[in-house]
Amino acid sequence: GESVGLHLPTLSVQEGDNSIINCAYSNSASDYFIWYKQESGKGPQFIIDIRSNMDKRQGQRVTVLLNKTVKHLSLQIAATQPGDSAVYFCAENTNAGKSTFGDGTTLTVKP
Amino acid sequence: SAVISQKPSRDICQRGTSLTIQCQVDSQVTMMFWYRQQPGQSLTLIATANQGSEATYESGFVIDKFPISRPNLTFSTLTVSNMSPEDSSIYLCSVRTGTDTQYFGPGTRLTVL
């Protein structure tokens, strides 16, 4: 069956360093991928997305990379701040428009 | 973007009872979804709430346990019926606007004793 998973369940970084969160997906038919940030007690918040016809997309301090050959997605956060501490989920969309979520990576930023 | 509110934000319920969760969106949206997030875990799609017709349920979820209403394009309810402690979770309403971007409500934290 299709699945989206994350390589590491937790990540701890020093404030100011760059963070890289990884995600593996198995459904080669997925054509749209999203990264979400979920802070404690809140719903997931959209961060950045990428379509399968792209391999890189940049936002403010965040970059998403897509490698379709190995079915791998990553989220890079530049100059990580304490406010970036949260759980990060990747999700893939099928043609039916439903999102399948990965397991989540907890990012902790140390001051 | 879309602003989503949910009621209640949290509740503690007794086994065997039912709870109805409301989801209100500040604009008309085509697609609304209900997710469950068990403690420390990822999100699992329960169903797609269809306006004017029966919801579409995912494998493992049935209408008798999770009846859903969607009377219009801005509102939906999810009922968790005949609750057991295993139903303790965060229930999240989500919408998709004209683009593929999906927005989430703040969630309803349910504890079943």
| Euclidean distance between CA atoms A37 and A90, whole angstroms | 9
Q: Give the pLDDT confidence of A65-92 residue by residue, as tens digits.
A: 999 999 999 999 999 999 999 999 999 9
Beta bridge partners of B35: B45, B92
> In whole angstroms, what is the distance from residue A96 CA to residue A18 CA?
35
For residue B112, the number of C-alpha atoms closer than 13 Å in the C-beta half-sphere is 17
**Which stretches in chain B have pLDDT values below 50?**
none
Can you give the pLDDT at residue A27?
A: 86
Closest CB to B102: pick one of A46, A103, A104: A46
Judge residue A97's burial from the number of C-beta atoms within 10 Å of its C-beta, 0-12 exposed, 13-18 middle, 19 or more buried.
middle
Put simply, the answer to whether A43 touches B107 (Cβ < 8 Å) is yes
Residues from chain B contacting residue A93 (CB–CB below 8 Å): 100
Do A99 and B104 lie within an 8 Å CB cutoff?
Answer: no
- Give the pLDDT mean for A14-37: 92
The whole-number pLDDT of residue B17 equals 98
| Sheet of strand B19-25, all strands in order from the earlier edge strand to the far edge | B4-7, B19-25, B75-80, B68-72
Residues of A with CB below 8 A from B45's CB? 98-100
Q: Is the pLDDT of residue A95 over 70?
A: no
Alpha-carbon span B7 to A99, nearest angstrom: 23
Taking the C-alpha atoms of residue A52 and residue A11, their distance in angstroms, rounded to an integer, is 26
Q: Does the beta-carbon distance from B104 to A98 stay under 8 Å? A: no
Residue A22 has pLDDT above 90, yes or no: yes
